[in-house]
Structure 1
Amino acid sequence: MSEQDQSQVTEAEATTARSVGPAFDFVIDVPLELSVEVGGARLLVREVLQLKEGSVIELDRSANDPAEVFVNGKLIAKGEVSVVEDRLVVQISEIVGEQRGKADSGSE
């Protein structure tokens, strides 16, 4: 991770710490499982058994669709997958919960 990327992460951590406040201090360091899904496929057992090195599996999304970001199995965001210094990264383009909250508040 570059110094600029590390700086952005540090700034994001500081912003998060300020926004959650002291009421959440006891859970702020609890580890969460984050995963990113770029697509999926349904295969028959026969097809799975035929997989070998070099096999290609067609996923249910196009190359232009955003990846989905999950925390502990819950969809929280969508973003674009790219490569930075030989590492896969996801740049968040949409926070799913915020969009849902905006839609809910507009209907009242």
Structure 2
Amino acid sequence: MSDQNPTPAPDLRETAEVGTAKDLEAVYDISVTVSAVLGKATMQVSQLLKLGRGAVVELDRRLGEAIDIYVNNRLIARGEVVMVDNTRLGVTMTEIVKSDRSQ
């Protein structure tokens, strides 16, 4: 064996970050559906048919509790409702939900 110093290997983290950012450019224009779920309720069809204008459906969440944020029907985060302007609501993410990829 020779005593020559081998060329140092590139930092794998840098290579992975650059490759990943470049690879993501291909998906930037793909549309996804984002849903913010305030809460859920279960009821019988007969109860649903009796609902009319002004009816209140009690949800499984409490006032001030985080709402679920879904992308393409997959839970990705939790957040809070915020006022965007006088006529529109928005959602601010407060927690990213780690999910098991095997699901």
Identity of aligned residues (%): 36
Given the two structures, how large is their TM-score scaled by the length of structure 2? 0.72
The 1-side partners of 2:52 and 2:63 are apart by: 23
* Per-residue deviation, 1:63: 0.8
* Per-residue deviation, 1:36: 0.5
Unmatched 5+ residue regions in structure 2? 1-17
The 2-side partners of 1:24 and 1:82 are apart by: 29
Unmatched 5+ residue regions in structure 1? 1-17, 102-108
> Are residue 65 (structure 1) and residue 68 (structure 2) matched?
no
Query: Which whole-Å deviations, capped at 9, do the CAs of 1:55-75 have from their partners, x for residues lacking one?
Result: 110001101210100000000
Partner amino acid, structure 1, of 2:75: L
SS class of match (2:46)? helix
SS class of match (2:23)? helix
Partner amino acid, structure 2, of 1:88: L
SS class of match (1:29)? coil
Given the two structures, how large is their TM-score scaled by the length of structure 1? 0.69
Matches within 5 A, 1:2-81: 20-81=20-81
The 1-side partners of 2:22 and 2:90 are apart by: 30
Partner amino acid, structure 2, of 1:57: V
Larger Rg: 2
* Per-residue deviation, 1:29: 1.2
Partner amino acid, structure 2, of 1:78: R
The 2-side partners of 1:52 and 1:23 are apart by: 50
* Per-residue deviation, 1:77: 0.4
RMSD: 2.0
The 2-side partners of 1:66 and 1:45 are apart by: 28
* Per-residue deviation, 1:27: 1.0
* Per-residue deviation, 1:54: 0.8
